[in-house]
């Protein structure tokens, strides 16, 4: 499945629903689809639209879904400059807990089985395994 | 996705979140609560019993609203989190920032 999502934060919910509703039954449990996959994909799309494409309506974020027998892998790629995921502060440290922003990648890492970035840092790959 | 606001007889504003609270709709929720705050309401319960998922932007807007309500001498309570959402609040340590109850009724009774 491939999807080009307009760089509009208002499209995130619809894009997430489109992907989630087209997954064949059986690979992931309904609970993992309804919570882990939806939340992680909304995070990845929101980050790509806000920071990667700058909410520029002329640009798109590309989503590709790869289905295996026991996994679902979702690639979210923007055409931005990328970022260094190793330099993000811990959002659970005392001074950061009360901040409005900075939890996105932390949340993704706890919801999926594997997170990988491309070399440029403008593409994220989320893997959720069966179970 | 829909937000509903109603006021109980003691003046507490109960906000229902149906569907999801994410980057694409968080401003709508924020504005509705800020409007009620501006109109004089000080006690708020956000009821997540009909909420499927919340992303980090949704969590962030709750942090922001809590601060603004506290600055005005008010209080924001959260209720109705399912097991996955409760875990999300615990992972992010936001359960230490908010008063969280099992149901909206329990939150109302605690004011």
- What pLDDT, in 10s, does the model give residues A72-83? 999 999 999 998
Residues A92 and B11: their CA atoms lie apart, in Å, by: 34
Q: CB B53 to CB A42 under 8 A?
A: yes
Probe site for chain B from A31, A51, A91 (most B CB atoms < 10 A): A91
A130 neighbors A27 (Cβ within 8 angstroms): yes
Q: Tell me which of B109 and A88 has the higher pLDDT.
A: B109
Q: What is the DSSP letter of A97?
A: H
CA distance A110 to chain B (A): 8
Of residues B91, B80, B64, B76, the one with CA closest to residue A103: B91
What pLDDT does B65 receive? 98
Rounded to a whole number, what is the distance in Å from the CA of A14 to chain B's nearest CA?
10
A70 contact partners, CB below 8 Å, separation of at least 6: A27, A129, A130
Closest CA to B53 of B28, B27, B23: B23
> Could you read off the pLDDT of B26-77 as tens digits, one per residue?
999 999 999 999 999 999 999 999 999 999 999 999 999 999 999 999 999 9
CATH number at residue B17: 3.30.750.24
Q: What percent of chain B has pLDDT over 70?
A: 99
Give the whole-angstrom CA distance, residue A126 versus residue A37: 9
* Gap from B44 CA to chain A (nearest CA, Å): 19
Alpha helices in chain A (DSSP H): 12-21, 30-31, 38-47, 94-97, 104-111
pLDDT along chain A (131 residues), means of 10: 96 97 91 96 96 95 96 97 86 94 95 96 96 71
Determine the pLDDT at residue B4.
96
Q: Cβ A107–B19 below 8 Å, yes or no? A: no
ipTM score assigned to the predicted complex: 0.93
Contacts of A13 in chain B (CB under 8 A): 1, 19-20, 22, 24-25
pTM for this entry: 0.95
Which 36-55 residues of chain B touch chain A by CB within 8 A?
Answer: 52-55
d(CA B1, CA B50): 10
Q: Is some CB atom of chain A closer than 8 A to the CB atom of B64?
A: yes
Chain A and chain B share a number of CB contacts under 8 A equal to: 83
Two tokens, residue B6 = 């109603």
Domains of chain A: 2-129 (3.30.565.10)
- Segments forming the whole domain that contains residue B51: 2-110
Number of separate domains in chain B = 1
A20 contact B CB<8A? no
Q: Dihedrals φ, ψ of A128, to 5°? A: -120, 125
Q: What are residue A41's phi and psi, to 5 degrees? A: -70, -40
Asked if A13 and B24 touch (Cβ cutoff 8 Å), the reply is yes
């Amino acid at each position: 499945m491939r999807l080009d999502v307009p760089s509009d934060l208002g499209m995130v919910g619809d894009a997430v629903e489109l992907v989630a509703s087209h997954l064949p039954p059986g690979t992931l449990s309904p609970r993992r689809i309804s919570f882990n996959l939806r939340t992680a994909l909304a995070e990845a799309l929101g980050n790509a639209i806000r920071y990667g494409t700058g909410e520029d309506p002329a640009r798109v974020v590309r989503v590709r879904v790869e289905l295996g027998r026991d996994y679902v892998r979702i690639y979210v790629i923007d055409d931005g400059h990328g970022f260094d995921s190793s330099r993000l502060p811990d959002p659970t440290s005392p001074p950061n807990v009360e901040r409005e922003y900075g939890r996105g990648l932390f949340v993704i890492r706890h919801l999926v089985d594997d997170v990988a970035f491309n070399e440029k840092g403008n593409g994220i790959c989320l893997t959720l395994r069966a179970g | 996705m829909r937000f509903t606001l109603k006021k109980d007889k003691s003046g507490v504003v109960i906000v229902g979140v149906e569907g999801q609270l994410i980057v694409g709709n968080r401003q709508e929720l924020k504005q509705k609560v800020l409007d009620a705050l501006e109109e004089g309401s000080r006690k708020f319960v956000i009821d997540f019993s009909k909420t499927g998922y919340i992303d980090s932007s949704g969590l962030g807007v709750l942090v922001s609203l809590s601060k603004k309500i506290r600055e005005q001498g008010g209080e924001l309570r959260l209720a109705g989190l399912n097991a996955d959402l409760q875990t999300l609040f615990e992972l992010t340590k936001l359960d230490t920032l908010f008063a969280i109850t099992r149901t909206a009724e329990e939150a109302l009774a605690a004011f």
